[in-house]
A and B are shown apart, each in its own frame.
Chain A
Amino acid sequence: MELYKELNKNKEYIKNTLYGSDDIVFKEFENNGTKCFLIYTDNIIRGTTIEEAVLTNIMVRGEKNFDAFEMQNNLIAVGETKLVQSFEEIFDAVLLGDTALIVENDNRAVIISTKGWPSRGIQEAKTEVVVQGPKDAFTELGSMNTVLIRRRIRDTALKVRRFKCGRRSKTDIAVMYLKDVAKEELVENVIRQIKALDVDCILDSGYLEQFMEKRYSSPFPQLQLTERPDKASSAIYEGRVAVVVDNSPFVILVPSTLNIFFQSAEDYYDRWEIMSFMRILRFFAAVLSVTLPGLYIALTVYRPDLIPTSLALKIASGRAYVPFPAIAEVLIMETAFELLREAGVRLPSPVSSAFGIVGGIVIGSAAVEAGIVGPVVVIIAALSGICSFAVPNPAFVSALRIVKYIIIFMSAFWGLFGFYTSVFLVLAHLASLESYGVPYLYPFCGGSANNYTDFKDSVLRAPLRKMRKRPVFAKAGQKIRMLFKNKEGGR
């Protein structure tokens, strides 16, 4: 709705609309006899800016009757201002922390940038901890997060496209990418998809992630969330797109493949040999965490003849006084482990690690002594749990946890055949997934699309000098990311 020329009508409409919002401040004052009306939201503005750069200038230094345009250009000493003509724009700005100034006999308002939200300072990353490398993490302030990325990419090609999402929340979204590296269709696709969303609110990037995923019914995350600015910057350098969501300390990276979920930021900050070893370990751990309990059931219940005799006897003697079938044994221990994990998350961090260790040991040994489970099952459940923690991405770990139970049940029903069937089913599901056109299992599937160069950053991590090409996400003409003209590394 357009603003009126009459200040009283504008005041009335604004006050009626914002009636009941006691945190909205309305201030009326004069500039050489011309009536002015100031609106802002308390506590989310910088008070000094309003007092020094707006009120003082207009009330004290205003020498003649100015209209809104002249005030914007001659009196308001704030860098970011704009003229608007509708009430909706005023409300959006005021609720976001800006200040609106309406002048008598003018159907325009000046929006003055006075945002000053209370925010948490930059802290260490909590979910993606590294030994070597930068420690800073994203915060809930979207604008701060874009700054953290821009600090690492001082390139004019870095573009930030801003818009709002959420009918009521009007959450600020910033899409960041390198214009000459990211594929245009990817960027447009991401922006189009976010803009097309018609939802009440976007409270966190997790919301947006779920709306952006093509196969939302899959347990596997198809987009990556990170709280590390270095990781987001690195993704942008590779031609991926970062989506910064206001009020969320996690940035979405698009597209994402299974391989990416096994990569940690410090993989690139340390020597390639040890990091390659860590990568192999992570993949091995993931496979083990998913398959071990199911395989145990399939072998002990259905095919004990496949286990070496001495080991089979040991397992049998351990289970001699256990009153439950193997599936119940495994489920008891797995549930106990899941409960410990869930309880550990809710506890204060200094207590949680001690609780986890003590709880695990006490429950495990007590269950064995009480004859509820056999000792091997405790080892299997613990090993499976520990292995899942070796994977750096929490969302992917959650998916592995669910898949583990599918394999457990199918192995319990149909033995080794159920085990093989469930593993194939999981593989088929993974093979059917895509993230913005990139196969989820890339580069293990479809690696030929980039001449198999992306294998250099998969199960093994090649030396940085050998990773000269950008991954498949980058534009066709932007594949080379480093050039060495001599062996010493000079150009």
Chain B
Amino acid sequence: MNFSCNNKISHNQFAAVIIAAFLGCTAVSAPLGIIETAGGGAYISVFLGGFAASVLFYVLVRLTGKRMDNSYENAAYSSLGKVLGFIVLASVFAYTSVYGGFQLSTTARMVHFTMEKSVSSLFAAILIVFVAFYTALRGRECVGRISEIAAVLMLVFILFIFVLSAPSMDLITLKPTPDEWRGILKGAFMSFSALSVAGYVFIMLPEGENTKNAALSVFAAFLIITVVLSFGTALAVSCFGVEESKRKLWPVIQMMNYTEFPGSLVERQEVLMSGFYVFSSFILTSLSVHISSVMLESIFKRINRVFSVLVSCAALLFFCLCALRKGGFDAVYSIYGFNLAMYGVMILAPVVSVLRRKK
């Protein structure tokens, strides 16, 4: 049950948040680098990396979910002590702000280049943060509910595209050559790294009402993202060819333009597709702001909600500006290693919590 302002989300909403927030963002940022590394077999990389991430998250949630204290913040303080707990929470705040800001910069650039030339990247970022401020202020339930709707719409739309595009797939292009396997494995690691941002789940999870089925929800959500992303990558490579795909900034989205829709009233479908991406980005930004504001509130106990959300928005916008100056899209790639390192920091609290209880 997710009713009555209890600031909890159901398992299905939990899965929906993961799908809605990460499907769009990974669809944009992940494939390009992976295609560059893995070539025609990029879709295998995406699948392998995604599947590995799904299994890992499943195992971690099964192990830690039940045994954690009632919230991530409490678990961090009770298992790591005040000083280490403070460092972990501050790191999570920094991480969510950096990652959210970098992803926001990608969205802002996409809005400017693909959707609306007259809207500058900076203004697009500010508008998205404004919406995220409203959503985050309304709490976790609001993010969960809107994700439930967005995830269903996104999946239905994507399924529709896949059904229309699948018959025109060139399977020969997709057949990996023996010398590509090293690249495929490297790509799989990149894919795993791209999905590791979902270290977020540990922060959301303890406030889910019942952690019994949470692991299954997480696994299902990641598997859906993996399958969709893998299929999308295969379609993009099949549509453009390996070399052309490498030159495309957003191959999965740009592929949309070449898909024939029977009776469509719109000429450039990729602009509509980028609408889904923007929706996903709204949710990811709201989620980032919400989580970083919760971290702030647990670090500074007396801070009020509006102020913590405002500070989180400002931090996110600051990192977004930094990324925009640096080039936005490249910035997201440059934090793959950072993602993994932070992933380790994030799971530190629940793992120590589990180990202590076992003793």
Contacts and interface: CB of A to CB of B under 8 A. Distances in A.
Interface of A: 302-303, 305-309, 311, 414-418, 420-421, 424-425, 427-429, 431-432, 434, 437-439, 441, 444-449
Nearest to A438: B3
Contacts of A444: 148-149
B275 A446 contact: no
Given A306-B271, A416-B115, A428 B149 contact: no
12 contacts: A302-B118, A306-B271, A309-B267, A414-B123, A420-B275, A420-B279, A431-B142, A432-B135, A439-B2, A439-B145, A444-B148, A446-B10
A184 to B, nearest CB: 14
A415 B124 CA distance: 12
Interface of B: 1-5, 10-13, 111, 115-116, 118-119, 123-124, 127-128, 131, 134-135, 138-139, 141-142, 144-146, 148-150, 265-268, 271-272, 275, 278-279, 282, 286
A448 B12 contact: yes
B243 to A, nearest CB: 27
Describe B's contact surface by its main secondary structure.
helix
Given A306-B267, A437-B4, A437-B5, A416 B131 contact: no
Given A416-B115, A427-B146, A445-B145, A305 B267 contact: yes
Given A416-B115, A416-B271, A417-B119, 8 more contacts: A415-B115, A420-B275, A424-B131, A428-B134, A439-B3, A447-B12, A448-B12, A449-B10
A417 B123 CA distance: 11
Contacts of B131: 421, 424-425, 428
B67 to A, nearest CB: 24
B141 A439 contact: yes
Contacts of B123: 414
B11 A305 contact: no
The 7 tightest CB contacts between A and B, nearest first, are A445-B145, A432-B138, A431-B145, A437-B4, A431-B146, A432-B142, A417-B116
Given A308-B267, A431-B142, A437-B4, A445 B13 contact: yes
B122 to A, nearest CB: 13
Contacts of A431: 135, 138, 141-142, 145-146, 149
Contacts of B11: 448
Q: Which of B5, B119, B150 has most A Cβ within 10 Å?
A: B119
Contacts of A445: 13, 144-146, 148-149
A121 B311 CA distance: 61
B119 A446 contact: no
B142 A446 contact: no
Contacts of B134: 425, 428-429
A98 B159 CA distance: 68
Contacts of A449: 1-3, 10
Nearest to B124: A417
Nearest to B142: A432
A432 B275 CA distance: 22
A303 B272 CA distance: 11
A441 B286 CA distance: 19
Given A431-B146, A449-B3, A308 B13 contact: no
Contacts, number: 117
Contacts of B111: 417
Describe A's contact surface by its main secondary structure.
helix
Contacts of B135: 428, 431-432
A414 B10 CA distance: 35
Contacts of A439: 2-3, 141, 145
Nearest to B111: A417
Contact of B282 (A303, A311, A424, A434): A424
A83 B128 CA distance: 66
B145 A303 contact: no
Contacts of B12: 447-448
Nearest to B149: A444
Nearest to A446: B2
Contacts of B124: 417
Contacts of A414: 116, 118-119, 123, 127
A446 B119 CA distance: 35
A446 B3 contact: yes
B266 A448 contact: no
Q: Which of B116, B134, B272 has most A Cβ within 10 Å?
A: B116
A415 B267 contact: no
A429 B145 CA distance: 11
Contacts of B115: 415-417, 420
Nearest to B143: A431
Given A420-B278, A438-B3, A446 B116 contact: no
A414 B135 CA distance: 20
Contacts of B286: 428
Contacts of A302: 116, 118
A283 B12 CA distance: 24
B23 to A, nearest CB: 16
B267 A307 contact: yes
A81 to B, nearest CB: 44
B138 A428 contact: yes
A114 B65 CA distance: 67
B287 to A, nearest CB: 12
Contact of B268 (A306, A421, A427): A306
Nearest to B150: A427
Nearest to A440: B145
B125 to A, nearest CB: 11
Nearest to A424: B282
B225 to A, nearest CB: 20
